[in-house]
Structure 1
Amino acid sequence: MTAKTRAHGSGSLQDPGIPSIGVGLDPPAPASPQSPQSPPAGYDPGFLTVPVPAPSLGPAIQDSAVRLDGSEVIPYTHFSLALSKPRRFAIWVAWNIDGGALKALTRKGIDFVTDPRLPAGDQVDNTLYQGTDNRLDRGHIARRADLCWGPLPEAEKANHDSFFYTNITPQMDDFNQSKRDGLWGRLEDAVFADVDVEDLKVSVFGGPVFQDDDREFRGVRIPRAFWKIIVFSEQGTLKAKAFLLAQSLVLPESLELDEFRVFQVKVDEIEKQAHVRFPTVMTDADTFVVPRSLGPRRPLESLEGIDWS
């Protein structure tokens, strides 16, 4: 899921060749993500056959979001997010993927930048990631490749918007290189490969899980779990599939990483852990059945283990 210049994204869950799709294009000339542009439309709740509104904040964090023009929802091209003022990372990110209109665009020449529309003090910048012995990488929550679709100027703008630090969370340098074969960064590709997705359109929601005991590094508390929900329509039926990635970081001395685990979970489990509320249409579309077991929840061993039904 991550690398120093490219990346995609609590604790135990005892309680509770994939082909890429895309159209190759000659790479466009790089442009500044801060160049004047029309206001971004952001996440589109009407993107699928059934409207799927963006999440809302739970009671525990309702007043914690950074506001832009009075709104907790901050729009970008093809995605929107809510930003935590105390944690300085996104609480949630919502994005749309048009699998039939994806463009293969280069990331060359695009820098990670803070969003000039928001107070600099409310965003984590490159200070967290500097240093040759620093194993933290900049990981996209909304994958760059997911956002590069539509007419070329629009796809280019989405490409650049993905590099705002508001869409970035810190992850270990080998975050997606474990024996789990990089499942986390391939979930979106897997749904297109394994499911007859209507109109090749998918909406995705993701973010970190903030915990009170997250360890601090350079004055920043580092999330050690992440969540993702993929929503799509198959044969006229809306479906929502939720996943949680749990990792354990030891900070700040050695930055050791315990093996991370990817679990398929219920949407309402994500609500409880992330303190966000999803629309009823999403929770109703979640048909995953939690396995009955007295032991710990078993992680996914491969993409073939995902229940897309």
Structure 2
Amino acid sequence: MSDNNTSSSVAAAIPVSTDATVRTIQFTVPLRIRIELGAAGVEQAVSVGFGPVAVGFETRKPAPRTYTDRNGYDPAFLTGTSISFESLLAPITDRLALTIDQKTVLAYRNFSVAMHRIRRLSVATAVNIDGQRTQSMGRSDVWILDPRLSETYQTGPEVYANNDLDRGHMVRRLDPVWGAQAQQANDDTFHYTNSCPQHAGLNQKAWADLEDYILNNTKLAQLKVSVFTGPVFGEADIPYRGVLLPLQFWKVAAVIKKDGELSMTGYLLSQKSLLVDLREGIAEDGFGAFRTYQVPLSQIQALTELDFSPYFSHDPLHRAGAGRFEVTTDLREIQNPDDLIL
């Protein structure tokens, strides 16, 4: 998702083919985000007319000649444990788009992506973050389609033209940017397979705060973290230019605690109030009411149908009582310590 964060941090906690590409023009306005926790919905395909696309909207850049050197997400990245991306995806394997090589997961540098064959957006992404080796790097904002996957299964630039939709990074741009191939990792995050339509207000504010919080504390504590992210596909999603715009997004962060035990926390954020009208009538009354929710892994499983059940016992919201939650690792407090649930 976007790493252009110019606002204060959110009170949240972690245990911490084609050559078509796009150059983005973004507009930021004050917006209020209302959080709604919905249920998983029925999948459906839609076909609606395309709106006007700006002249010169696309900036072209060739795709890599080969992806054979991409390591992808490493399930054994966290010391002493293994979190299989394929196992998380197992309940919905029949809904995943197949690559030209008949694979269900696309490997990039330090992260992986699985695509929904009907929704044409990522079902989930998985990334490894090495807090000791992270690097700062400029962004290009030049997006490309992945030649390993039919364009039928990808959502390209036409959805983002002449509106307030951003190409929201599912794997945050700087998260996989570490190691000898950091530049490759940075470039890989600009594949359309790694983006979902997000209103600029959500992408540049609330969700970006959470992503910055995760990455910054990973670097401060020099931690290794595995992060899983994706949209919630529901029956109330909004038809727009041939796709359904997701109203909610989820994120799960996994880290090894000081005692050597795995801890995983889940987060959910909604953009429903922002997508009511993409062109006009959006309230400009500030962000005062927005909130990112920390939610049990069981709720994310219910919304996405991904299999997080092996990790329920490692979720502080699952094992904690009504009182104060345990602190899993030494992290910098962001805004309101009472909101930190680790």
Give the structure-1-normalised TM-score.
0.78
What corresponds to 1:137 in structure 2? 166
Is there any run of 5+ residues in structure 1 with no aligned partner, and where?
16-30, 293-300
Deviation per CA, 1:207-251: give whole Å up to 9, x if none. 000001201111211001000000001211211011011121214
Residue 270 of structure 1 pairs with residue 300 of structure 2: yes
Deviation per CA, 1:163-192: give whole Å up to 9, x if none. 0000001111122455x5953332413543
**C-alpha distance in 1, partners of 2:122/2:253?**
18
Residue 90 of structure 1 pairs with residue 119 of structure 2: no
Deviation per CA, 1:17-71: give whole Å up to 9, x if none. xxxxxxxxxxxxxx95524454311100010111121143364x43110112233
Deviation per CA, 1:249-274: give whole Å up to 9, x if none. 21455384796531001111101101
**SS of equivalent to 1:157:** helix
Residue 64 of structure 1 pairs with residue 95 of structure 2: yes
**C-alpha distance in 2, partners of 1:277/1:208?**
15
**C-alpha distance in 1, partners of 2:191/2:165?**
17
Runs of 4+ in 1 over 6 A off after TM superposition: none
Contact persistence 1:243–1:263 (CA under 8 A): yes
**C-alpha distance in 2, partners of 1:283/1:147?**
26
What corresponds to 1:174 in structure 2? 201
Instruction: Note the C-alpha offset of 1:303.
Output: 6.5
CA-based RMSD of the aligned residues comes to 3.0
**SS of equivalent to 1:207:** strand
**C-alpha distance in 2, partners of 1:182/1:142?**
12
Give the structure-2-normalised TM-score.
0.71
**How many aligned residue pairs are there?**
272
Identify the match of residue 212 of structure 2 among 186, 202, 215. 186
> Of the two structures, which has the highest relative contact order with CA contacts closer than 8 Å and spacing of 6 or more?
2
Identify the match of residue 239 of structure 1 among 263, 279, 295. 263
**C-alpha distance in 2, partners of 1:193/1:95?**
15
Sequence identity, in percent?
A: 32
**C-alpha distance in 2, partners of 1:288/1:136?**
33
What corresponds to 1:39 in structure 2? 69
Residue type at the aligned position of 1:288: L
What corresponds to 1:27 in structure 2? none
Identify the match of residue 247 of structure 2 among 208, 221, 224. 224
Change (3 A) 1:260 1:67: farther
**C-alpha distance in 2, partners of 1:107/1:307?**
32
**C-alpha distance in 1, partners of 2:207/2:69?**
38
